[in-house]
Amino acid sequence: MGNYGGGTQGFAITDKFILITQHKEDSDPSIIHVVDKKTIELKNTIVIDPAEYGYTFGHINDLAYDKNTGFVYVLTTKKVDGVSQIAKFKVNSNGQMTDYSLVNPPRRFSGIEYDSDHNQFILYGSGEMWIYDSSFNLKKHFPAPTNLITQGIGYWKGYIYFCNYEFGAPNQYQTIFNHNQARSNLIYMYDLNGNLAKTLYIPNTVIKGELEGASFMDNGEIYMNFNYSGIAVYKSTFPIEVQNVTIKNKPTRLRYFQNEDIDLSGLVLGVTLNNEEKIDVNNVSNVSVSGYDKTKLGKQIVTLTYKGARTQFEVEVLAEGSAKETTEEEQGNTSKEENEKKAPEDIPNTGAKLAIKLLLGSTVLAYFIGFIAKNKRKLYKI
């Protein structure tokens, strides 16, 4: 995205801008570059001069944006009773800082994010994730242990993205230590209840530099800030794919006379995408049907396939002229579902490539490797 003459640190994405902070000494003015989100051009540079404010933002390890109020939150070096204060301000359409004030948090933190979906702060400090409401009343906290160099945090669709830089502690996630990848990065994904869901591994053979933070566009694109030769931000796009399909509402008709075509009217599918988003699908034009034989009498298992994922339900074919009663299942459509997720062996083991495009024009490919289920870790490619 650009070279600003120094190492970059935390960053956040607002409705109009990408805010990129630049590391300076505590005695130097703090720098926040305001980049237009659409044109990727520098709009303005916000300077916090200690001669004017009496303090700086210091290292600026992380910052956060609340889309509900339009406020940006930044950790500063100004301390009250040993606790670093949080700067609160807005950025107007010209990229200038307005409505500036300080907030006194309950403790010291090194990472900050705002969950606008639930109007709550997510902060990291002292080896734990802390969740506070918008007035800094504690809601919950949970351990987030790591012996890596902790960085900023991001949030998207119910998951916290905790960025870490490997340098000096490779055995935590490398099965066999590889000295060529001794300065790699990874992102721990936690849900809001503290369950470790996944690890995204970014080897330094693909992207050089120290991963400082992650933030998301409204469409789910993740921007990652790597501090390397002043280069600020990489943009990466996850291919959105269907992960699982269930039947929320079965078709209205579950019994047919012989030679009648199947009717999917009333069908509603519950679809889970690989970005953890869940949607309902009632448009059957993209649903393929197999297993139904209108000439064969008796009960049959029908398989529905939607974008590679499958689920099943049962129908019955009756002889022509026989009595056809309406079952409770057809009346209420509340019977037990039979679901089938696409078997792993049916999926080509290609290691889905994640295209990471440097916003200056060059393109690299990375593999996000490593899945961590609850209390169990193993490497794999997604």
Q: Which two tokens stand for residue 359?
A: 């916003």
Q: Both 167 and 295 in a single domain?
A: no
Same domain flag for 78 and 176: yes
Indicate whether 362 pLDDT > 60.
no
Question: 318 and 204 in one domain?
Answer: no
Q: Does a structural domain hold residue 3?
A: no
Who contacts 202 (Cβ-Cβ below 8 Å, separation ≥6)?
184, 185, 186, 187, 211, 224, 366, 368
222-232 tens-digit pLDDT:
888 777 654 54
CATH number at residue 49: 2.120.10
Total residue length of the chain: 382
Distance CA 333, CA 337 (A): 10
Q: Do 373 and 262 share a structural domain?
A: no
Cα-based distances in Å from 44 to 109, 123, 230, 322, 354 = 28, 28, 18, 78, 31
Mark whether 22 and 148 lie in a shared domain: yes
Question: 323-327: long-range contacts at Cβ-Cβ below 8 A with a sequence spacing of 24 or more?
Answer: 324/255, 324/257, 325/255, 326/255, 327/254, 327/255
- What is the pTM for the complete model shown? 0.60
The pairing of beta strand 309-318 with beta strand 255-257: parallel
Assign 233 a pLDDT band (cuts: 50, 70, 90): low
Structural domain range at position 302: 242-345
CATH number, residue 311 = 2.60.40.3630
pLDDT 10s digits, 72-112: 999 877 788 878 889 999 999 999 999 999 998 888 888 89
Measured between alpha carbons, how far is 343 from 295 in angstroms, rounded to an integer? Answer: 30
Q: Could you report the per-residue pLDDT of 102-133, keeping only the tens digit for each?
A: 998 888 888 899 999 899 999 998 889 999 99
Distance, in Å, from the CA atom of 110 to the CA atom of 114, rounded to the nearest integer, reads 14
312 — pLDDT class (breaks 50, 70, 90):
very high
Residues 341 and 359 in one domain: no
Q: What are phi and psi of 345, to 5 degrees?
A: -70, -15
Both 252 and 368 in a single domain? no
Total number of domains in the chain: 2
Residue 340: pLDDT band (50, 70, 90) is: very low
